[in-house]
């Protein structure tokens, strides 16, 4: 340490002052020397300050103050490192020092070869991330993209159809009873009941996923290979309740029973008609009516011949009959007599 003092000059026989700044340019160390009358002072560089008392040279401020300990706001996103006369920042990953080394600023990795991302790069404070377009996913390296097979990841993604994967997307080929959405990514059920109000004539339509059901009225049913309700022929499949002596006649949605000839009733119950008692037979007057189940037969009376519907009496020679003016047949319990009158 230098201290200015008077120096004797033999020539001038007097005391003169010395300019310490000229004699010792480095007297201040980390600062600029400024001469003063009878002394000098040091203007210290940043990070340094003048010593106390007789120590006028510039000393590292760190010997007295540690800036890193004084403030917790120094070097945000980094670590404060005290150095001789000042401090500087050691920045975290994703940050870089400012030109004065006293701060940390974010590095926009996306501006440097897209951050190494194959498709999209998104910068964030102190970091960045890669992303892919729809239908793709990041591979384990978190940089490149690979196609997503939606058909394998979501087996029901095309419910009601078949899923087909293509690069970056998929589409659905829908089965009958479904329709493809505009974007071809889903299968939409077709409501056949609303689409065709007459699809279940003679029945009620119920929509189901991919199809429909007809709840048919009595006497109608859905036949295989057809849609809608079709008349059931009860007579043909023998599901009627007609009497065995009746005829079944199919009608739309139902049937009717009609008793056969020789029988009477409503068709469900048929009773034999006694044509002989009812006198509805057509037997000859010279015949006897014999009732049978569902019919009758005619039998010519004794002494008469024929099929019962037509009966003839005894046969006489024409030579005798030619002389008869009146012929009368007389029948008793034992025989048939022919009475002939030869006079008027």
Q: Go through the domains of the chain in sequence order and give each one's CATH number.
A: 20-60 (2.10.25.10), 67-107 (2.10.25.10), 108-148 (2.10.25.10), 192-231 (2.10.25.10)
What pLDDT is recorded for position 275?
A: 86
Q: Please give the Cα distance from 189 to 195 (Å, whole number).
A: 12
Say what the alpha-carbon torsion angle 308, 314, 318, 319 is, to the nearest 10 degrees.
180
What pLDDT, on the 0 to 100 scale, is given for residue 266?
A: 94
DSSP for 103-140, please give it.
-EEE--GGGTGGGG-SSEEEEETTEEEEE--TTEEE-T
- In three-state secondary structure terms, 84 is coil
Q: What pLDDT score does 271 carry?
A: 93
pLDDT of 58 = 81
Which residues neighbour 265 within 8 Å (Cβ) at sequence distance 6 or greater? 243, 246, 259, 271
Q: Looking at beta carbons, which pairs linking 99-106 to residues 24 or more positions away fall under 8 Å? A: 102/74, 102/75, 103/75, 103/76, 104/75, 104/76, 104/77, 104/78, 106/77
Prediction pTM value = 0.47
Q: Are 300 and 285 in contact (CB under 8 A)?
A: no
Residue 136 pLDDT: 96
pLDDT score recorded for residue 6? 53
Q: For the chain (length 344 residues), average pLDDT per consecutive 10?
A: 48 70 86 86 84 69 73 92 89 95 95 95 96 95 96 93 95 95 95 93 94 94 86 94 95 94 92 88 89 89 88 64 53 52 52
* Cα diameter, the chain: 230
Question: Distance between CA 29 and CA 316 in Å, rounded?
Answer: 185
CB-CB contact of 299 with 306 (8 Å)? no
pLDDT at 76: 93
Instruction: From residue 121, give the alpha-carbon distance in Å to each of 109, 115, 133, 146, 192.
Output: 8, 6, 11, 16, 49
Task: Give residue 341's pLDDT.
Answer: 54
Return contacts of 186-193, CB within 8 angstroms, 24+ apart.
186/158, 186/159, 187/158, 187/159, 187/160, 187/161, 188/160, 189/160
d(CA 283, CA 296): 9
């Amino acid at each position: 340490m230098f201290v200015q003092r008077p120096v004797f000059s033999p020539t001038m026989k007097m005391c003169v002052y010395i300019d310490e700044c000229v004699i010792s340019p480095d007297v201040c160390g980390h600062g600029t020397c400024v001469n003063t009358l009878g002394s000098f002072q040091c203007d210290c560089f940043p990070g340094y300050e003048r010593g106390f008392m007789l120590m006028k040279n510039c000393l590292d401020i760190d010997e007295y103050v540690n800036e890193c300990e004084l403030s917790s706001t120094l070097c945000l996103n980094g670590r404060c490192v005290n150095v001789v006369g000042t401090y500087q920042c050691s920045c975290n990953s994703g940050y870089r020092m400012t030109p004065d080394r006293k701060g940390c600023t974010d590095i926009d990795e996306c501006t440097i070869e897209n951050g190494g991302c194959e498709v999209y790069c998104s910068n964030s404070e102190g970091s960045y991330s890669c992303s892919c377009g729809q239908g793709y996913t990041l591979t384990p390296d978190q940089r490149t993209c690979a196609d997503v097979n939606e058909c394998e990841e979501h087996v029901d993604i095309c419910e009601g159809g078949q899923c087909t994967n293509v690069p970056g997307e998929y589409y659905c080929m829908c089965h009958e009873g479904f329709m493809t959405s505009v974007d071809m990514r889903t299968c939409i059920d077709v409501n056949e009941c609303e689409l065709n109000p007459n699809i279940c004539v003679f029945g009620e339509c119920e929509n189901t996923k991919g199809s429909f059901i007809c709840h048919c009225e009595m006497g109608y049913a859905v036949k295989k290979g057809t849609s809608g309700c079709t008349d059931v022929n009860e007579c043909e499949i023998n599901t009627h309740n007609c009497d065995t002596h009746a005829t079944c006649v199919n009608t739309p949605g139902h049937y009717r029973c009609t008793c056969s000839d020789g029988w009477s009733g409503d068709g469900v119950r048929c009773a034999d008609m006694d044509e002989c008692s009812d006198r509805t037979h057509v037997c000859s007057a010279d015949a006897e009516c014999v009732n049978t189940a569902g019919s009758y037969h005619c039998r010519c009376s004794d002494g008469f011949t024929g099929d019962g519907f037509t009966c003839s009496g005894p046969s006489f020679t024409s030579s005798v009959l030619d002389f008869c003016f009146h012929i009368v047949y007389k029948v008793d319990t034992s025989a048939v007599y022919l009475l002939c009158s030869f006079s008027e």
